[in-house]
Amino acid sequence: MSRRAILLAVLGAILVALPAFANPYVLSVAILILFFAYTGQAWNVLMGFTGQLSLGHALYVGLAAYASAGLYFHYGLGPWAGVWLALAVCIAGAAIIGFLAFRFGISGVYFALLTIAFAEFTRIGFDHLRGLGGPGGLFIHVSNRETWDLLNLRGPPAMFYYVILFLAAAALAFSTWLLRSRAGYYWQAIRENEEAAQALGINTFRWKMLAIVTSASMTSLAGVFYAFYYNNLFPEQTFNISRSIEIILGPVIGGVGTLFGPVLGALVLTVLSDSITNALAAFGWEFPGVKQVLYGVALLAVVMFLPNGIWPPIARRLKL
């Protein structure tokens, strides 16, 4: 077995065994890490592979969360049904943004602004959607915390942990496969030099559309998870730009475009921010916003000293 396979197997074994010895707090942090590892992986398809900077991925998390939660709230249909609606809504949203951007040659910073704009006006729109709770929020009834009900995503934290662990592992495997497929080659070519990519016969519009739709589809599953894990949704939180930033920090700090960067970035960031908040709390200090300050410092340090992220040098050191 290669070193990479051994490392993955060890990591997988630890993660599978974790709920057996972790206390509820550690488990909740682990769920958060895996959540951001997953969304980071999804975002990475669009930015890391294809070079299109989205600063509005909270849009897909939110749309999917509201779609599935709304279906459950109004019609009693669980996430097994909601996930399809969530997928459809996110694909439609991504297709609209992608079409506007890629058809009319909006790229770089302007593309980023477009993604922010869509997330923002969707947030404002949901503030006015009375049927989905409006600014007061949408709450899902918690009927069962003991037994595993995977179809309805009702159960104990350990169940949510395994669900998000499965998603994160699947996303890693899927991204690995994507990168070695025709799509992976074409996306990277577009990222590196779009004009040259087109000159080699690549329909750049079509492949960029595929990238944004793939990324949004992956993100939509995280949205469904989010809705049924937290059981409450507020437009102000769900679609907030700070959510989008949280999604991209993991891969940016771990290494944009790498396969393991999003996972490592999510781990480092979540553990750091939680331990600092806890350490401060232990001294009786409470600073609102300390997490954001930490994110800023971490981002600054990575951009200055490790512009490719922290994973590539570690991978070299481990000879992976």
Partner 1 sequence: MSALLEVRGISKSFRGLRAVGNASFEIPEGDINGLIGPNGAGKTTIFNMIAGVYAPDAGEIVFQGRRIEGLRPDRVCAAGIGRTFQIVKPFAGLSVLDNVVVGALLRERSTAQARRLSDALLEKLGLAAKRDLPAASLTLPDRKRLEVARALATRPRLLLLDEVMAGLRPTECDQMVEIFREINRADGTTILLIEHVMRAVMALARHIGVLHHGEVIARGTPEQVVRNPAVLECYLGEEAEV
Residues that bind partner 1 (CB under 8 A): 180-182, 185-186, 188-189, 191-193, 195-204, 257
- For residue 162, the minimal CB distance to partner 1 (Å) is 33
By the 10 Å C-beta count (0-12 exposed, 13-18 middle, 19+ buried), 227 is classed as: buried
Nearest residue (CB) to partner 1, 130 versus 319: 319
Cα 63 off chain centre by: 13
Nearest residue (CB) to partner 1, 188 versus 237: 188
Q: Which of 219, 191, 192, 185 is nearest to 50 (CA)?
A: 191
- For residue 181, the minimal CB distance to partner 1 (Å) is 7
- For residue 176, the minimal CB distance to partner 1 (Å) is 14
Task: With beta carbons less than 8 A apart as the criterion, state whether 40 and 262 touch.
Answer: yes
- For residue 197, the minimal CB distance to partner 1 (Å) is 7
> Phi/psi class of residue 22: alpha, beta or left (left: φ > 0; alpha: ψ in -120 to 50)?
beta
Nearest residue (CB) to partner 1, 42 versus 189: 189
Nearest residue (CB) to partner 1, 86 versus 252: 252
Phi and psi at residue 118, to the nearest 5°:
-65, -45
- For residue 302, the minimal CB distance to partner 1 (Å) is 18
Nearest residue (CB) to partner 1, 34 versus 211: 211
Alpha helices by DSSP H, listed for the chain, are: 3-21, 24-44, 58-75, 79-103, 109-127, 157-180, 182-192, 194-199, 204-230, 235-238, 241-254, 261-282, 290-305, 311-317
Q: Which of 308, 266, 316 is nearest to 37 (CA)?
A: 266
Q: Which of 320, 196, 195 is nearest to 255 (CA)?
A: 320
- For residue 306, the minimal CB distance to partner 1 (Å) is 16
Nearest residue (CB) to partner 1, 181 versus 292: 181
Nearest residue (CB) to partner 1, 48 versus 265: 48
| Helix, strand or coil, per DSSP, at residue 289 | coil
- For residue 209, the minimal CB distance to partner 1 (Å) is 14
Nearest-angstrom CA–CA distance, 194 and 211: 14
Nearest residue (CB) to partner 1, 46 versus 58: 46
- For residue 180, the minimal CB distance to partner 1 (Å) is 7
